[in-house]
């Protein structure tokens, strides 16, 4: 029966049923296949969502160290690696970051080729997927970089101590006045970095491998010499700490000089393979003049320029009837009448010694005379065995001696011991000048997981790393320039106080790109170079994922205000209180902001 009907249908030439059926077949096939295509799109979307979620989870810790463009490139690479479907296009087209909330949002557009609905002109299907990861930082590591310069004396330093201690309590206990037995948050660690001209890293570090005891860094021989010749510097490897300890009553205090650029503004791990990454102990040389009585124009004279330890024994001259002489005796002449041996020293001065009594010999001692101020300052021989008492009349204990300018309060590395922190803060003393650059650089180093301090957690972990830098002044370079300091007498060093950059004479800042020899620069130009170094240190710290808050108490000028604002992670994180009494409010506000970044257990 069915065979007969089918033959009849085939012979029937009435109408266009076959054509209509053919067209309908395509549509019906496409409609039926659309279900298959939809399932395909759904499967691709699911696999892609998993891939995008994985990328977001992997990249979320990097939102503090990478910008949006870098995150987008990394996300695209991870997404492409995980999507293996042929013909499927997956493009990460949007990235949004909120570092305060620890949030990363990724959006991708998918284009999936169609198999069945392509029959009706739809070649591909476009859809979007979004992945958002929010993970607030559990741990807080905060470095308090605090100005201890002389201008902070009186109520300022007292207010700073109160404000800093209250902020520390808020970070650990959630309140500035914790009750006895209050539970301390175990995920908080704080470092204290007092700064003046220098930063005192700690005398106990003197034997660490990253300390340049061998004298291999570029600046190790600056201002030290032992040939009594202005024109030639005898190059030698000098252990600066041992040189300090060779003096009676002296020991190295714990300060380092600024590393050669660019290591002066970053956290490059020190390595003996690159000596300039090592840290050179401070050694402020004795300047011309008697101990405690510097020559005109100089500030730091703590030993005599020509002690007996600098005399040179040439040998023994034997007086005899002969008129011959040893070759070392220069123009010596021995007579039986006077028994005097004489010679002319290298400065052209006649020197002599007498053979006493019936002795026919005498020892010739060469005491160089007519030394220039440069040689008086640089000669190493004057230190060994010298007795130095910086508490005696004529000395300023802080700005004089081999540790001149090194603050009394040393760095307290990251710790969760609140008593240790408060003791360190209470021990701060206001004295000396201001070097914000060194303060920021050492604050950066206390938060790093690498040497010279290793207490910090690794970057990229769920840790909020923060610098809170407070100052009441501006970067100060004590350049001796009659135009800027009419009270000062110029000297050969060009600098009244010894600095982490040595003297102006040492010309160390010329290693900074774009700078020119600055021996002839005035004080303002040198100060601007310090500002540049400060901003570079801030930028490097921020690039490492560190959030920076700056506090400029009674900011002295617009230049400093601009620098502190640029140093901060964003303008809202730069504070400019006008009264010391406002410090507590500022520190409290910052501490409370940091506490909100932590997720509860």
Note whether 351 and 420 are same-domain residues: no
Instruction: Give yes or no: residues 124 and 10 share one domain.
Output: yes
Establish whether the linkage from the previous residue to 553 is cis, with ω within 30° of 0.
Answer: no
Angle formed at CA 144 by CA 139 and CA 149, multiple of 5 degrees: 175
Question: How many distinct structural domains can be found in the chain?
Answer: 3
Which residues, in sequence order, are bridge partners of residue 384?
none
Please answer whether residues 522 and 483 qualify as being in contact, where contact means their C-beta atoms are separated by less than 8 angstroms.
yes
The per-residue pLDDT for 27 is 54
Q: Looking at the predicted structure, is the pLDDT value of residue 494 above 80?
A: yes
444 and 328 in a common domain: no
| Cβ 295 vs Cβ 301: under 8 Å | yes
Residue 41 within a domain: yes
Beta-bridge mates of residue 133: 104
Looking at every residue in the chain, the average pLDDT score rounds to 83
Tokens encoding 20: 């209509």
pLDDT category at 255 given cuts 50, 70, 90 is very high
Give residue 538's pLDDT band: very low, low, confident or very high (50, 70, 90): very high
Domain assignment present for 454: yes
Which helix (H) or strand (E) segment is 575 a member of? Answer: strand 574-575
Weakest-pLDDT range from 411-415, 489-493, 546-550 = 489-493
> Which helix (DSSP H) or strand (DSSP E) does residue 299 occupy?
none
Question: What is the gyration radius of the CA atoms in the chain, in angstroms?
Answer: 37
**At residue 236, does pLDDT exceed 90?**
no
What distance, in Å, lies between the first and last C-alpha atoms of the chain?
Answer: 80
**Closest by Cα among 118, 31, 129, 114 to 83:** 129
Cis peptide before 579 (omega within 30 of 0): no
Q: Are residues 125 and 205 in the same domain?
A: no
Quote the CA–CA distance of 125 and 88 in Å, as a whole number.
Answer: 10
Task: Tell me the C-alpha distance between 197 and 203, whole Å.
Answer: 17
| pLDDT tier for residue 80 given thresholds of 50, 70 and 90 | confident
CA torsion 119-124-127-133 (nearest 10°) is 140
pLDDT reading at 322 higher than 50: no
The token pair at 489 is: 């007498």
**Do 510 and 405 belong to one domain?**
yes
SS (H, E, C) 399-453: CCCCCCCCCCCECEEEECCHHHHHHHHHCCCCCCCCCHHHHHHHHHHHHCCCCCC
Residue 578 domain flag: no
pLDDT for the residue 513: 44
Tell me the β-bridge partners of 294.
289
pLDDT of residue 516: 47
143 and 162 housed in the same domain? yes
Where does the pLDDT of residue 2 fall: very low under 50, low under 70, confident under 90, or very high at 90 and above?
low
Beta partners for 193?
Answer: 145
Any idea what DSSP says for residue 176?
S
Rounded to whole angstroms, the Cα distance separating 537 from 523 reads: 21
What per-residue confidence (pLDDT) applies to 318? Answer: 61
pTM of the predicted protein model: 0.75
Mean pLDDT of 501-506: 90
Give pLDDT tens digits for 379-436.
999 999 999 988 765 556 678 899 999 999 999 999 999 999 999 999 999 999 999 9
- Where in the sequence is the domain holding 163, given as residue range(s)? 139-172+185-223+251-284+398-427+434-472+498-521+533-555+566-573
312-318 and 340-344 beta bridge pairing:
unpaired
Residue 511 in tokens:
């290693």
Is 480 within a domain? Answer: no
Cα angle 406-171-544, degrees, rounded to a multiple of 5: 65
Judged against a pLDDT cut of 90, whether residue 167 lies above it is answered with yes
Does residue 415 sit in the same domain as residue 278? yes
Q: Flag the least confident range among 45-49, 278-282, 538-542.
A: 45-49
Characterize the bridge pairing of strands 463-471 and 547-552. parallel
Whether residues 272 and 420 share a domain: the answer is: yes
**Residue percentage of the chain with pLDDT more than 70:** 75
Same domain as 551, residue 411: yes
| pLDDT at 8 (0 to 100) | 63
What are the beta bridge partners of residue 108? 92, 129
Which tops the pLDDT comparison, 300 or 24?
Answer: 300
CA dist., res. 296 & res. 294, Å (int):
6
Pair (546, 406) in one structural domain? yes
Q: What is the mean pLDDT of residues 88-107?
A: 85
| Structure tokens that stand for 520 in this block | 């002839």
Same domain, 128 and 25: yes
Does residue 591 lie in a domain region?
Answer: no
- Statement: residue 337 has pLDDT above 50: no
Let me know whether 459 and 338 are in one domain: no
């Amino acid at each position: 029966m069915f065979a007969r009907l089918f033959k009849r249908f085939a012979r029937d030439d009435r109408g266009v049923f076959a054509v209509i059926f053919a067209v309908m077949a395509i549509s019906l096939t496409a409609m039926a296949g659309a279900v298959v295509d939809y399932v395909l799109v759904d499967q691709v979307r699911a696999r892609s969502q998993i891939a995008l979620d994985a990328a977001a989870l992997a990249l979320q810790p990097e939102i503090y160290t990478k910008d949006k463009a870098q995150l987008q490139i990394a996300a695209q690479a991870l997404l492409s690696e995980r999507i293996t479907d042929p013909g499927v296009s997956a493009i990460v087209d949007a990235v949004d970051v909120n570092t305060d909330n620890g949030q990363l949002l990724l959006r991708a557009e998918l284009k999936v080729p169609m198999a069945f609905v392509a029959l009706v002109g739809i070649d591909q299907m476009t859809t979007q997927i979004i992945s958002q990861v929010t993970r607030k930082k559990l741990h807080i590591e905060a470095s308090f970089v605090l100005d201890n310069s002389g201008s902070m004396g009186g109520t300022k330093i007292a207010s700073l101590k109160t404000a800093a201690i209250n902020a520390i309590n808020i970070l650990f206990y959630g309140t500035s006045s914790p009750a006895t037995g209050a539970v301390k948050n175990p995920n908080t660690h704080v470092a204290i970095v007092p700064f003046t001209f220098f930063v005192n890293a700690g005398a106990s570090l003197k034997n660490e491998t990253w300390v340049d005891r061998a004298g291999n860094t570029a600046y190790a021989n600056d201002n030290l010499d032992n040939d009594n010749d202005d024109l030639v510097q005898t190059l030698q490897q000098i252990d600066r700490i041992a040189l300090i300890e060779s003096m009676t009553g002296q020991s190295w205090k714990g300060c380092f000089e600024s590393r050669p650029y660019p290591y002066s503004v970053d956290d490059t791990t020190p390595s003996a393979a690159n000596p300039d990454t090592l840290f050179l102990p401070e050694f402020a040389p004795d300047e011309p003049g008697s101990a405690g009585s510097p020559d005109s124009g100089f500030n730091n004279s703590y030993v005599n320029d020509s002690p007996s330890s600098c005399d040179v024994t040439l040998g023994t001259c034997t007086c005899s009837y002969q008129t011959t002489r040893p070759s070392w005796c220069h123009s010596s002449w021995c007579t039986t009448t006077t028994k005097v041996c004489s010679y002319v020293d290298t400065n052209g001065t006649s020197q002599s010694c007498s053979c006493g009594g019936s002795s026919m010999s005498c020892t010739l001692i060469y005491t160089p005379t007519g030394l220039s101020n440069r040689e008086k300052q640089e000669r190493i021989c004057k230190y060994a065995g010298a007795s130095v008492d910086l508490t005696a009349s004529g000395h300023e204990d802080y700005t004089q001696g081999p540790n001149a300018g090194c603050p009394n309060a040393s760095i307290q590395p990251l710790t969760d011991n609140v008593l240790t922190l408060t003791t360190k803060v209470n021990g701060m003393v206001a004295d000396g000048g201001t070097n914000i650059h060194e303060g920021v650089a050492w604050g950066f180093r206390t938060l790093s997981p690498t040497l010279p301090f290793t207490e910090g957690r690794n970057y990229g972990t769920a840790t909020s790393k923060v610098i809170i830098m407070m100052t009441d002044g501006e970067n100060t370079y004590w350049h001796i320039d009659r135009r800027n300091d009419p009270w000062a007498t110029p000297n050969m060093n060009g600098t009244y106080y010894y600095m982490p950059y040595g003297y102006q004479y040492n010309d160390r800042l010329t290693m900074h790109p774009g700078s020119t020899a600055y021996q002839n620069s005035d004080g303002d130009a040198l100060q601007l170079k310090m500002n540049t170094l400060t901003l570079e240190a801030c930028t490097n710290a921020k690039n490492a994922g560190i959030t920076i808050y700056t506090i400029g108490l009674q900011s002295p000028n617009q230049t400093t205000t601009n620098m502190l604002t640029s140093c901060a992670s964003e303008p809202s994180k730069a504070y400019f209180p006008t009264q010391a009494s406002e410090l507590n409010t500022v520190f409290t506000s910052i501490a409370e902001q940091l506490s909100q970044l932590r997720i509860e257990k």
